[in-house]
């Protein structure tokens, strides 16, 4: 019988949610960067607000990653099985590329529009602020790691903050990151965002894409691997996640809530039922134990061997033992006194019984 219930999102629904969420993020975020004239506050808030809005909208379906780096951090942090990574990342890249294509088409609504350098793409060195490549690489790694630590902490099942505030905290963190990094690199922390518009922004932007793909993935990997070490695992890691490439469970209950998507319906974690120390075998937490019968000898519950909490079976009246059975007296030989053992038997010295010597008749 399948363990999947009706409110468990399907793979197609997750793909659609991630594609749509990434499209909205790239379309509005990079669109604000282009059409606001590079306004720092407007662009930063737009990126943050799109994450908030779409996480509230479709987070219950897929968790609201909208970013291959977030997906990588989630799987390495034990929140997502490896067998879903390809679906998530393919959807995110598709959403980013569709957003870039729509922005490219809209830009051509202006006479003399040139997409080269005008797509809200990321940059470093001579193509941007003059920021050195190694500094841009380090900055994007650090910012992505911080972003993933925030996400993993906010979605941690042990976090007592109202779950409804999770997307808001994540969106504000992304806006905070943009406020700092826009003047330096245009802020990536998201390979899908960089690729989505970068492929339309000219040769120089395409050549620089490697940094804005590599750095976010490195930062996410660092955060995903170190979060359980720094702050504890919380729920048991999802099967097939982390450094276990087993592929995950085929049938897995993941109800349609934002928190459940990030913890994949795991039980037995911090404060969760099913992992109580000292709980009797086969007894669920909070369920009454099987009734016990008092022992007439001691007045205490008595259990049968191998059964927890079951009364011992009643003893049958003792039956006379048959000769040769365990615990039965040996059979009497003709001419043998009661209690006289055969020579050589246990407890009976050979040739001697109760201090009397047997005299054998000569043949």
Flag whether 337 is in a domain. no
pLDDT digits (tens, 9 = 90+) for 68-119: 999 999 999 999 999 999 999 999 999 999 999 999 999 999 999 999 999 9
Close Cβ partners of 147 (under 8 Å, ≥ 6 residues apart): 69, 70, 173, 174, 177, 189, 219, 223
Relative to beta strand 293-294, strand 301-302 is antiparallel
Flag whether 273 is in a domain. no
Q: How many domains is the chain partitioned into structurally?
A: 1
pLDDT digits (tens, 9 = 90+) for 137-178: 999 999 999 999 999 999 988 887 666 788 999 999 999 999
Flag whether 285 is in a domain. no
Taking the CA of residue 28 as centre, how many other CA atoms within 13 Å lie in the half-sphere pointing to its CB?
18
How far is it, in rounded angstroms, from Cα 75 to Cα 96?
21
pLDDT score of 129:
81
Flag whether 296 is in a domain. no
Q: What is the CATH number of the domain that holds 255?
A: 1.20.1080.10
Q: What share of the chain in percent tops pLDDT 70?
A: 64
pLDDT digits (tens, 9 = 90+) for 239-250: 888 887 654 444
pTM: 0.69
pLDDT digits (tens, 9 = 90+) for 27-46: 999 999 999 998 999 999 99
Query: Domain range for residue 215?
Result: 11-263
Flag whether 299 is in a domain. no
Flag whether 316 is in a domain. no
pLDDT score of 158:
85
């Amino acid at each position: 019988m399948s363990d999947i219930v009706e409110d468990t999102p399907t793979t197609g629904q997750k793909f659609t949610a991630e594609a749509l969420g990434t499209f909205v993020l790239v379309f509005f975020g990079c669109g604000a960067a282009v059409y606001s004239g590079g306004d720092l506050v407007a662009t930063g808030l737009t990126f943050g607000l799109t994450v908030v809005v779409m996480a509230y909208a479709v987070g219950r379906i897929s968790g609201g990653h909208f970013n291959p780096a977030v997906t990588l951090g989630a799987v390495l942090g034990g929140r997502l099985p490896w067998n879903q990574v390809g679906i998530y990342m393919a959807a995110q890249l598709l959403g980013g590329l569709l957003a870039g294509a729509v922005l490219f088409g809209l830009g051509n609504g202006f006479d003399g529009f040139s997409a080269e350098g005008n797509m809200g793409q990321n940059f470093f060195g001579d193509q941007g602020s003059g920021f050195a490549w190694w500094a841009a690489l380090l900055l994007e790694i650090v910012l992505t790691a911080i972003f993933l630590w925030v996400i993993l902490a906010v979605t941690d099942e042990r976090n007592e903050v109202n779950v409804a505030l999770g997307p808001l905290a994540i969106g504000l963190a992304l806006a905070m990151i943009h406020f700092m990094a826009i003047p330096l690199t245009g802020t990536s922390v998201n390979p899908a965002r960089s690729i989505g518009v970068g492929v339309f922004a000219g040769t120089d932007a395409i050549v620089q894409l490697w940094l804005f793909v590599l750095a976010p993935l490195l930062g996410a990997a660092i955060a995903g691997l170190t979060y359980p070490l720094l702050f504890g695992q919380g729920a048991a890691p999802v099967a097939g996640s982390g450094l276990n490439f087993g592929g995950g469970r085929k049938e897995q209950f993941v109800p349609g809530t934002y928190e459940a998507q990030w913890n994949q319906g795991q039980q037995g974690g911090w404060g969760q039922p099913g992992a109580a120390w000292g709980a009797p075998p086969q007894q669920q937490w909070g369920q009454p134990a099987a009734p016990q019968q008092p022992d007439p000898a001691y007045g205490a519950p008595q259990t049968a061997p191998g059964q927890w909490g079951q009364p011992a079976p009643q003893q049958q009246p003792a039956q006379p033992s048959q000769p040769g059975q365990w615990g039965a007296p040996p059979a009497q030989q003709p001419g043998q006194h009661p209690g006289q053992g055969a020579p050589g038997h246990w407890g009976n010295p050979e040739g001697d019984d109760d201090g009397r010597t047997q005299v054998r008749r000569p043949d």
